[in-house]
């Protein structure tokens, strides 16, 4: 019997006794205990994982009704409530800190209680009445130990497919457009941050675009592992209290609803005691972050100046750059990209460490892994869009790169076959020391004609056509 103390609180009961819960909260006794037990970060599990929990609970209720284990009317109310959770409309009722029980049990129970109470409300029953029970009905055929890692993997997969991969595609397209528009612009290449042979600006941008596209393929390839779920293993991987075929049917419903290739694992012990699939995905996110860092840093270098830097690229001025120097404008978008990439590197280290903390049949850092892996996917997606919209779409090539190519002593490299390495080196050194062009020096110390030198030293020929195709 529900006992209400006042309009502000109600009394809920679990196996440890009575607990005061806010009167209008959908969560119950176990989530409230966890809320009080873990006043750590003020941040809960990611909304993507909450979405995964909602999707799983709704599909589980439908399957339990189909196989005759759950009353159809109860299942219908649970499905409706779970759909609201999956739509992230009830996130405010997920009150447990991410630094909690390592299995994610507190958050699984938080979802069970929210769905049960919301389902009760839908049916016209009182919150806390347990006319729909969080354990007996919402958690039927499940355990936190198979549900939470499944929700984590599902949440990461959805974040990758719906947020990150589209953002990467848009960024790659922008870089390809820049490559097309700047392919005739020739500048000095650089190795070791020192002058090297000429390159086309478009070749650089094409290279960046292809880095992004290859990164997207690597990340997309991790979806196959992420979509292999440990559902059905229940407490330790043996499937206790799950009906035969239950997990396979739930996964089929999840696949139909999400469009992902969701399937039950063929080995619950490996899938449930570790989150290797999350480590795999996190590694691919880290790999792309390292590529994005390189692109962002290159753009920052090329835009340095305007008078005493490279000044080969002009990027949009988006905000004042200094509290004391009025004219200063900084490459703040690039710097934001570099920082978020650094966070992804840190997150990946956290994910790898967290996955090592599995003992026997259970990993005990699941919420920690979920938080870091999801954050990596989300900030990379947001960073790709920010970088594209606020920096690259307004970037322009300056005349500085083309101007400096003709003065570059490194062009003497093109004379190696005609005059030999040592003679070419002498020409380069004299050009650098005197400030004269390579052609001028070569006319004096070789038998090559001006016409021959023009052909050998033509920057456009030296760049070739590499990187021209999309």
Residues tagged active-site: 192, 322
* Residues 123, 96 contacting (CB under 8 angstroms): no
* Residues 199, 320 contacting (CB under 8 angstroms): no
Residue of 312, 25, 80, 272 whose CA lies nearest to 188: 312
CB hemisphere CA count around 214 (13 angstroms)? 10
What span, in angstroms and rounded, lies between the C-alpha atoms of 83 and 86?
A: 5
Coarse DSSP helix, strand, coil percentages of the chain, rounded to the nearest 5 percent: 60, 10, 30
3-state SS, residue 309 = coil
Across the strands, what pairs with 13? 18
Q: How many CB atoms lie within 10 A of CB 436?
A: 16
What span, in angstroms and rounded, lies between the C-alpha atoms of 296 and 456?
A: 34
Q: Which residues, 6+ apart, have CB-to-CB distance to 112 below 8 Å?
A: 57, 134, 135, 138, 139
Measured between alpha carbons, how far is residue 433 from residues 187, 377, 408, 430, 438 in Å?
21, 51, 12, 5, 11
Measured between alpha carbons, how far is residue 186 from residues 196, 230, 295, 456 in Å?
13, 54, 19, 16
* Residues 184, 200 contacting (CB under 8 angstroms): yes
* Structure tokens, 379: 């900030």
């Amino acid at each position: 019997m529900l006992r209400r103390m006042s309009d502000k609180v109600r009394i809920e009961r679990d196996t440890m006794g009575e607990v005061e819960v806010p009167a209008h909260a959908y969560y119950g006794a176990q989530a409230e205990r966890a809320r009080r037990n873990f006043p750590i970060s003020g941040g809960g599990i990611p909304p993507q994982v909450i979405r995964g929990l909602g999707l799983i609970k709704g599909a589980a209720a439908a399957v339990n009704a189909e196989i005759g284990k759950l009353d159809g009317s109860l299942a219908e109310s649970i499905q409706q409530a779970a759909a609201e959770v999956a739509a992230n409309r009830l996130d405010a009722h997920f009150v447990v800190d991410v630094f909690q029980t390592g299995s994610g049990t507190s958050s699984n129970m938080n979802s069970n209680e929210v769905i049960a109470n919301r389902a009760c409300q839908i049916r016209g029953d009182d919150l806390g009445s347990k006319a729909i029970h969080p354990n007996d009905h919402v958690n039927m055929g499940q355990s936190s130990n198979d549900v939470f890692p499944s929700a984590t993997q599902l949440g990461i997969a959805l974040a990758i497919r719906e947020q990150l991969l589209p953002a990467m595609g848009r960024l790659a397209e922008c870089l390809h457009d820049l490559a097309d528009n700047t392919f005739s612009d020739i500048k000095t290449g650089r190795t070791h941050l020192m002058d090297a042979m000429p390159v086309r600006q478009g070749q650089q941008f094409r290279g960046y675009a292809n880095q992004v596209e290859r990164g997207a393929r690597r990340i997309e390839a991790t979806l196959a592992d992420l979509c292999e779920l440990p559902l059905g293993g229940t407490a330790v991987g043996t499937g206790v209290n799950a009906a035969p075929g239950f997990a396979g049917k739930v996964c089929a419903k999840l696949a139909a609803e999400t469009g992902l290739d969701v399937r039950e694992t063929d080995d619950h012990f490996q899938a449930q005691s570790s989150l290797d699939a999350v480590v795999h995905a996190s590694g691919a996110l880290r790999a792309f972050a390292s590529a994005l860092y390189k692109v962002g840093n290159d753009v920052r270098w090329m835009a340095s100046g305007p008078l005493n830097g490279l000044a080969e690229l002009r990027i949009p001025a988006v905000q004042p750059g200094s509290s004391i120097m009025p004219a200063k404008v900084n490459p703040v978008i690039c710097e934001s990209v570099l920082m978020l990439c650094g966070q992804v590197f840190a997150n990946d280290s956290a994910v790898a460490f967290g996955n090592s903390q599995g003992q026997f049949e259970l990993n005990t850092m699941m919420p920690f892994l979920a938080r870091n892996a999801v954050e990596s996917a989300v900030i990379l997606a947001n960073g790709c869009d920010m970088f594209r919209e606020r920096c690259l779409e307004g970037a322009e090539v300056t005349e500085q790169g083309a101007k400096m190519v003709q003065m570059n002593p490194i062009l003497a490299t093109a004379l190696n076959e005609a005059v030999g390495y040592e003679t070419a080196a002498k020409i380069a050194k004299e050009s650098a020391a005197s400030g004269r062009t390579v052609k001028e020096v070569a006319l004096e110390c070789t038998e090559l004609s001006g016409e021959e030198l023009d052909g050998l030293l033509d920057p456009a020929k030296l760049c070739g056509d590499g990187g021209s195709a999309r």
